[in-house]
Amino acid sequence: MMSHWPSPAKLNLFLYITGRRPDGYHNLQTLFQFLDYGDTLQISVDQSDRIQLLTPVVGVAEADNLIVRAAERLKQAAQAKQTLPPQAGAQIAIDKRLPMGGGLGGGSSNAATVLVALNHLWQTGLTPDELAAIGMQLGADVPVFVKGFAAFAQGVGEQLQPAEPEEKWYLVAHPGVSVSTPAVFNDPALTRDTPVRSLATLLSSPFANDCEAVVRKSFREVDELVSWLLEYAPSRLTGTGACVFAEFDTESAARQVLELAPNGVRGFVARGVNVSPLQRALRGDWLLRDSVPPFQTLHVSHQHTRVNAHDRIRRLLSCRSFSGRKA
């Protein structure tokens, strides 16, 4: 029997690069918050001694897929501790909503969901810290998804401190391009010397993303999308992109702006949450919502309707107080 497990998106509410390490990696300071939106994994366990991915991802070999790699790493770790029989197997399918290369952490979240779900279903008994250590071998963002709480991250992302940013509503938009994370971090123009600051100082300062200038310069589509969203609300890049988010006090305000999105822009509206839907699933208080739509592609067919809608939204937003901080 298949059980359903959420694999939520994340936002980097701010992201600062504070230095480059001798090993080539970068030190950073970032604030992670989850979204009540993402992929869904369907998992069943068996005695086949095989990890089967029932819905392969186009362009990614099964052996390289983070879902399969996470399951295999967990299986090895549990069997080394003799808490899992050799014949343990699993079948995994995915309802993919999050774009690849979007800065929403989709692959890392998938890996974390596999680790947490199979640890529960196989009853291997590994601790969250042990799961996070396995996750770190798969990617720097995996541990925060395993831990399941909004966090201030430092180092390469492995130093996590619980945080409680305001749970706002977000319009998340994708400009239709894919951004290479290695290319961004290797760009000579990337800011790498932002001063290290305390969390309290960062929370009281305007939020920004050090990767944004490089990405906006390299991708006209991202630059135009950020500029458009800034007309309505505080907006910035998440991760290395390509997704951009705008923050709102209410769901209705976010949805009304989404309806005005330029032709071809895909987006969705979701609530920022400090406790991951994956943690709620472990507690049994998360329900699969088939009605939640994937990225929507918006098209506006009548110019006069667009102008009138712009006027209505501007009046709406001018009456609301936004405590978020522009990039």
Residues annotated as catalytic are 10, 141
CA-based nearest residue to 33, from 284, 207, 180, 213: 207
Annotate 77-126 with DSSP letters as a single string. Answer: HHHHTT-S-TT-EEEEEEE--SPTTSSS-HHHHHHHHHHHHHHHHTT---
Which helix (DSSP H) or strand (DSSP E) does residue 127 occupy? none
User: Which tokens sit at 253?
Assistant: 């305000």
For 39, list phi and psi in degrees, rounded to 5: -80, 165
Which helix (DSSP H) or strand (DSSP E) does residue 203 occupy? helix 199-203
Beta strands, E only, 164-216: 169-174
284 in helix, strand or coil?
Answer: coil
Q: Cis omega (within 30 of 0) on the bond before 270?
A: no
CA-based nearest residue to 34, from 138, 109, 115: 109
Distances from the Cα of 18 to the Cα of 29, 83, 233, angstroms: 7, 41, 27
Find the DSSP H helices in the chain: 66-80, 106-121, 128-138, 142-147, 181-185, 199-203, 212-218, 220-229, 251-258, 277-283, 303-318
Q: Are 63 and 52 in contact (CB under 8 A)?
A: no
CA distance 236 to 219: 14
Sequence-distant (≥ 6) Cβ neighbours of residue 137 within 8 angstroms? 73
Q: Please report, to the nearest 10 degrees, the dihedral formed by the alpha carbons of residues 72, 145, 95, 54 taken in order.
A: 0
Q: Are 122 and 116 in contact (CB under 8 A)?
A: no
Strand partners, 67: none
